[in-house]
Amino acid sequence: MEALILYLVLFFPGVFSSSYGGRMLPAEFIPFSILRELGRTLTYTLPSLALLWYLIHLNGSQGKTDAERQRFLFPKPQILTEKPQKRDFLSFGIGLLGLIIISLAVSSLVWVLAKYAGASPPPRVEGPTTVVGWFVVVFSCFGTGYLEESYFRFYLLRKLEEWVSFRFPRIAFSVLLFALCHAYEGPWGILNAALAGCLLSILFERCRSLHGIAMAHAFYNAFVYTMGNFL
């Protein structure tokens, strides 16, 4: 119940659509604004991340033996504040490369369907054009990457492990919620998020690494902004 309440509060699709001019329908173009991006990061992303990490620490510190902590995820919830380990660099490299390949594959599919079947393309994200804008984007991308990976992988998959012993249903449920909160990007955005969620969930299950997939997510978001200036 706690996990679903957090999802509705932090990641309900209306939260994201409203951050782009109040649109509840998929947008065709998402303009960049330094003030809006910085305001969203300071008033939503960072407070949400602080709340989520507090709950992770609280849940990992109370009511569980050392054996239970080891079984469910990590022996100590303080892993959130530890420096990246070797496994993080592995999951980062695989994750970033995989996310870029998925994005390019989906974009190619959209281009073919748009040309021959009249399909509507996903919204184009405008990138910054100034040094200050790029600083804000990097700050925002890392905040978003850590927030989404902390919830959908580190927190949610751990919660589901306590109730579901099979890996596939846990990943499928996490991916479903992750894809739904990208509804503002339209059907192609949902497909891209679903495939990306599968990759990141599998990497997390295999490597038990938060920092690697969070950084891959952050760098991928920055890649999207970069491509927005060339398309």
Q: For residues 213 and 203, is the Cβ–Cβ distance under 8 A?
A: yes
- Distance, CA of 82 to CA of 192 (rounded, Å): 30
Q: Which of 10-19, 131-140, 214-223 has the lowest mean pLDDT?
A: 10-19
CA 102 to chain centre: 14
Q: What pTM did the predictor assign?
A: 0.85
Highest mean pLDDT among 92-101, 110-119, 122-131: 92-101
Q: Is the pLDDT of residue 26 over 80?
A: no
- Distance, CA of 149 to CA of 207 (rounded, Å): 14
Report domain extents, the chain: 86-231
- The residue length of the chain stands at 231
Residue type, 66: D
